[in-house]
Amino acid sequence: MDHLGVGEPINGDHIYNGAMDNASGVATMLDTAATLHESGTKLRRSILFLIVTGEEKGLLGSRYFVAHPTVPRSSIVGDLNVDMFLPVIPLKILTVLGLKDSDLGPLLRSVAEPMGIEIQDDPEPERNLFIRSDQYNFIKAGVPSIYFKVGARAGTPEAATEKRWLTEHYHAPSDDTKQPVDLAAAAKYDELVLHLAEAMADRDERPQWNQDSFFRRYVKRSSAAHGRM
């Protein structure tokens, strides 16, 4: 749905499939939507499942959606981004981008910890990953957002497995369906996404940026610009 398409061949293969980046996230969304539908769960807020393209070309699909939303923009209370979540190791630790920026951080923690998942803040803040996937367009529109993926502690064998994946398969034709996937980690992640979406949808309050978050500055600007868009 949203990867590089065809490109320079590597080992004779020029199709960049993007099974992890980001078909894994798309699969999670489809699973979550199907589970919610089949369970007949009634939530207080509705959940919009948005699958965009053009992320790799500069977050284009999410930029278009935020400029032309299919529901009133003021009714979008929060954004959970499930881009590539990399289930190549067991899900024991979750790396969270935007953990300290809004009350979605504590909400995610309250859902993850009972599942035996430990929360880890972004171990590489210097890469500015929080503004490098589709959540950034929602952030710029003032919408509290969070992004979370399977993580590992630096220096562990799991971190080495993750690093090897990034070196060998990231943005390469071998990011395909033949690579090993930790299916238990993927299933656990799906469950986490479902519980977090339900918690956000059923809570009284809308998610809020923290007072000291850098990204809170966009709230005012986006509501002032609202009338012009």
2 binds Zn ion (CB under 5 A): no
Residue whose Cβ sits closest to Zn ion: 21
206 DSSP 8-state letter: P
Return the range that interacts with Zn ion (CB under 5 A); candidates 16-24, 40-48, 105-113, 150-158: 16-24
207 DSSP 8-state letter: P
Q: Please, what is the minimum distance in Å from the beta carbon of residue 215 to Zn ion?
A: 22
Q: Which amino acid is at 177?
A: T
Locus of tokens 């003021």: 74
Q: Measured between alpha carbons, how far is 128 from 138 in angstroms, rounded to an integer?
A: 16
Q: Please, what is the minimum distance in Å from the beta carbon of residue 21 to Zn ion?
A: 4
Q: Give the residue with the Cβ less far from Zn ion, 21 or 162.
A: 21
CA dihedral 23, 59, 91, 215 (to 10 degrees): -160
Return the range that interacts with Zn ion (CB under 5 A); candidates 17-25, 64-72, 104-112, 219-227: 17-25
Write down the number of H helices and E strands in the chain. Answer: 7, 6
Please report, in angstroms and rounded to a whole number, the separation of the first and last CA atoms in the chain: 28
Q: Please, what is the minimum distance in Å from the beta carbon of residue 177 to Zn ion?
A: 17
Among 2, 21, 134, 198, binds Zn ion (CB under 5 A): 21
151 in Cβ contact with 94 (< 8 Å): yes
Return the range that interacts with Zn ion (CB under 5 A); candidates 15-23, 30-38, 57-65, 214-222: 15-23
Footprint of Zn ion on this chain (CB under 5 A)?
Answer: 21
